[in-house]
Amino acid sequence: MDVSDLIDPLNPAQREAVTAPQGHALVLAGAGSGKTRVLTHRAAWLVRVEGATPWNLLAVTFTNKAAAEMRARIESLLGINGSGLWVGTFHGLSHRLLRLHWQEAGLPQGFQILDSEDQRRLVKRVMRDLEVDENRWPVRQLQGFINARKDAGERAEDLDSADPYSGEMARVYAAYEQACRSAGVVDFAELMLRTVEMLQNHLELLGHYRRRFRHVLVDEFQDTNGIQYEWLKLLAGPESDVFIVGDDDQSIYGWRGARVENLERFRKDYSHTRVLRLEQNYRSTRTILDAANTLIARNSDRLGKKLWTEGEAGEPIALYAAFNEQDEARFVVERLMAMVEEQGLARSDVAILYRSNAQSRTFEEALMARRIPYRVYGGLRFFERAEIKDALAYLRLLANRDDSAALERIINTPTRGIGNRTVETLRLTARDQGVSLWAAARELVSRPGGLPARAGNALRAFVELIDGLDRETADAALADRIETVITRTGLRGHLGKDGSDRAQDKLENLDELITAAGNFEQDNTAEAEMDPLTAFLAHAALEAGEGQAGAWEDCVQLMTLHSAKGLEFPVVFLAGLEEGLFPHRMSVEEPGRLEEERRLAYVGITRARQRLLITYAERRRLHGRDDFAIASRFIRELPPALVDEVRARFSVTGPDAAGSGLGESPATQAEFGLGERVQHSRFGEGVVLDCEGNGPNARIQVNFNDAGTKWLVAAYANLERI
């Protein structure tokens, strides 16, 4: 049997892991050392040499993209092409088990999955039915509580109901479970927990899968949480061999309950585990690898690994200090375009990685402006996010009261005592009279006895809120208008009370919407005939629906550092390396969290194969605030010799200096740095954003405080530095 295709592309240490005798194995190794390659080759080896069948394999990882790549790889090594393979994510595989065994799981055959937005709505509805005070018990906090309990494998009845605090939460949890049951829906956390319970309660089923899955393989093991570990222990029976790969330096989900200690626990629970180490990195240039190694060496409590490469030194890491976030996006997009056009890189070879989802918008806009296809992974595009859609729905209603979809979305968001029954009455009235929901609402609140008193008051308050907002903000600038809407409708206060990281994220996104509106109003000259609100809403709607290239198209990859785990790209831009943003300000106080941020930086750096470009903005308008930032400590932690600072300065030379020889106008030799403040005789004060060309053709782009952004011919602009 020829297995050279399985063995040849491996180094001796990798080969040892792939061909290890039966038994449990743990491959502990740094980034880019071939862990995922070893895992896929091991799967193929088991079938082709050890006599397993593809049916005996269970291979698990964390993200959909990584799972799809793993499946494709194993199928190609096995020369098969079928969905019979059990390769997927924890959630995906659980879902598959529940679909197959819905009866044993106690689910209706056509059960549906709740995304977290739907889940929140349901929790809220349950709380209303139980008359739980949402001011004391924020919905999101309860939602987070329910998910955390499920991740820990606990049901409502397992909780201490005698304690008034947890008793109240348990009461909501129990009612929520009941509501899910009667609606026939399961949330994400439920997929895992339900599968575990189903297997525990149906030993014949458990036995079947344990006999079947003789070989269980897990990638990125360092990020498993409690219920995932339970799930694995169940499915891998006494006869099964477990092969896990991981890297403690890449453990980045501690904040979501992942336990890096599971690596140690595994060695205890699975006796005679063979531990293998890989030390050669095949992914990155020596420069990139050295930078990553130096950075991560600052963490304490590491299991300790070596990592070296035979590869070339490669180019230095480029570091660009942007003037602001737009300058940062401009730099990234121009650089990547140059690489695509001049060096023939595919767009999909380039990834832009950032710490938080809110950062994607500036990049999306810059890419869209240049018509460069891109794809955002693992997160909704900005204008599709729920909280943004809520804010936009209010604005749509201000622009057009008859937009019933918008009204329905926010009539009770945030909750204001307008229940389903009222909405149902509204719907019926609107239907009977053939009018919009808004018209029906006005009619109902003015008709005596149209609604029960409490419902009538709540609805009247809503109608007055919208009309009042319209009156008060009609003449305000767009950004101010949105700010007022977000505050007055309670969207902001509602999230503010929640206090979870997710709510914080959403608040930041709302602020980002205000920033977007401000920039839009300033830059939008094309649609001057439309009022700014209408133009902005059209912009948002078009952006949400289009420009998102399909996965099949060659497009630039945008994602958070968390979703980049396990992936690699020839070119990586690591954006927003500023103190407070990355490391995140909430992490810097706690050594444990800071180390997790550093691991995240390590993950980011080690995604790059040939080129790594790091950017930060000295001034960033994020979350609606202008912040002056300093470079992230992670930049300072890189060896300076490996980093090359990109010069943002350029020189502008007047006509004389360019050699016209006439000597009539004074030589206007000037040098402006991006971000420098300048004065123009007509347009006033502004900031240099960009430049093009040189000599007499040099043009400068200036963002004027009052006159907006303009391109000027440098030689004639007579700009003065201020």
Q: Is 506 annotated as a binding residue?
A: no
Do 633 and 581 touch, CB atoms closer than 8 A?
A: no
> DSSP states of 387-453 as a string?
HHHHHHHHHHHHH-TT-HHHHHHHTTSS--S--HHHHHHHHHHHHHHT--HHHHHHHHHHSTTSS-H
- Return the SS3 of 581: strand
Q: Which does 655 bind (CB under 5 to 8 A by kind): ligand ATP, Mg ion, none?
A: none
For the packed helices 532-545 and 478-488, what is the interaxial angle rounded to 10 degrees?
Answer: 80
Considering the rule CB under 6 A, would residue 456 count as an interface residue with ligand ATP? no
Q: Which does 33 bind (CB under 5 to 8 A by kind): ligand ATP, Mg ion, none?
A: ligand ATP
CB of 40 to ligand ATP, least distance (A): 8
Q: Is 36 annotated as a binding residue?
A: yes
Q: Is 29 annotated as a binding residue?
A: yes
Of the candidate residues 88, 566, 583, 654, the single one contacting ligand ATP (CB under 6 A): 566
Q: Is 661 annotated as a binding residue?
A: no
Q: Which does 31 bind (CB under 5 to 8 A by kind): ligand ATP, Mg ion, none?
A: ligand ATP
**By C-beta, is 195 or 262 nearer to ligand ATP?**
262
Subset of residues 27 to 56 that bind ligand ATP, contact rule: CB under 6 A: 29, 31-37
Q: Is 292 annotated as a binding residue?
A: no
Instruction: Examine the residue annotation and report whether 607 is marked as an active-site residue of this protein.
Output: yes
CB of 262 to ligand ATP, least distance (A): 17
Which part of the chain contacts ligand ATP (CB under 6 A), choosing from 7-15, 131-139, 159-167, 386-394? 7-15
Instruction: Examine the residue annotation and report whether 36 is marked as an active-site residue of this protein.
Output: yes
Do 578 and 620 touch, CB atoms closer than 8 A?
A: yes
Rounded Cα distance, 485 and 480, in Å = 9
Instruction: Examine the residue annotation and report whether 334 is marked as an active-site residue of this protein.
Output: no
Rounded Cα distance, 122 and 181, in Å = 12
Instruction: Examine the residue annotation and report whether 35 is marked as an active-site residue of this protein.
Output: yes
**By C-beta, is 282 or 711 nearer to ligand ATP?**
282
Q: Is 404 annotated as a binding residue?
A: no
Q: Which does 329 bind (CB under 5 to 8 A by kind): Mg ion, ligand ATP, none?
A: none
Do 719 and 672 touch, CB atoms closer than 8 A?
A: yes
Element (H, E) at 229: helix 226-235
Do 253 and 217 touch, CB atoms closer than 8 A?
A: no
**By C-beta, is 8 or 131 nearer to ligand ATP?**
8
At residue 560, φ and ψ (nearest 5 deg) are -75, 160
Least Cα distance to 571 among 250, 356, 283, 249 occurs for 283
Angstrom CA distances, 193 to 83, 98, 120, 215, 231, stand at 24, 11, 19, 22, 8
Q: Is 13 annotated as a binding residue?
A: no
Instruction: Name the active-site residue from 40, 143, 250, 653.
Output: 250
Do 382 and 602 touch, CB atoms closer than 8 A?
A: no
Considering the rule CB under 6 A, would residue 73 count as an interface residue with ligand ATP? no
Q: Which does 149 bind (CB under 5 to 8 A by kind): ligand ATP, Mg ion, none?
A: none
Q: Is 708 annotated as a binding residue?
A: no
Q: Kindly tell me the burial class for residue 237, based on how many C-beta atoms sit within 10 Å of its own C-beta (0-12, 13-18, 19 or more).
A: middle
Q: Please give the DSSP secondary-structure letter assigned to residue 239.
A: T
Instruction: Examine the residue annotation and report whether 306 is marked as an active-site residue of this protein.
Output: no
Do 13 and 278 touch, CB atoms closer than 8 A?
A: yes
Rounded Cα distance, 63 and 564, in Å = 9
Q: Please give the DSSP secondary-structure letter assigned to residue 20.
A: P
Least Cα distance to 694 among 670, 718, 710, 674 occurs for 670
x/- site string to ligand ATP, residues 581 to 620, per CB under 6 A?
-------------------------x--------------
Of the candidate residues 566, 654, 655, 696, the single one contacting Mg ion (CB under 5 A): 566
Nearest residue to Mg ion, by Cβ distance, number only: 36
Q: How many CB atoms lie within 10 A of CB 235?
A: 23
Considering the rule CB under 5 A, would residue 36 count as an interface residue with Mg ion? yes
Considering the rule CB under 6 A, would residue 11 count as an interface residue with ligand ATP? yes
Instruction: Examine the residue annotation and report whether 63 is marked as an active-site residue of this protein.
Output: no
Q: Which does 32 bind (CB under 5 to 8 A by kind): ligand ATP, Mg ion, none?
A: ligand ATP
CB of 55 to Mg ion, least distance (A): 25
Subset of residues 247 to 276 that bind ligand ATP, contact rule: CB under 6 A: 247, 250
**By C-beta, is 18 or 691 nearer to ligand ATP?**
18
Rounded Cα distance, 272 and 560, in Å = 38
Considering the rule CB under 6 A, would residue 282 count as an interface residue with ligand ATP? yes
Residues that bind ligand ATP (CB under 6 A): 9-11, 14, 29, 31-37, 247, 250, 282-283, 566, 568, 606
The residues assigned a catalytic role are: 35-36, 219-220, 250, 607
Q: Residues forming the annotated binding site for ATP?
A: 29-36
Q: Residues forming the annotated binding site?
A: 29-36
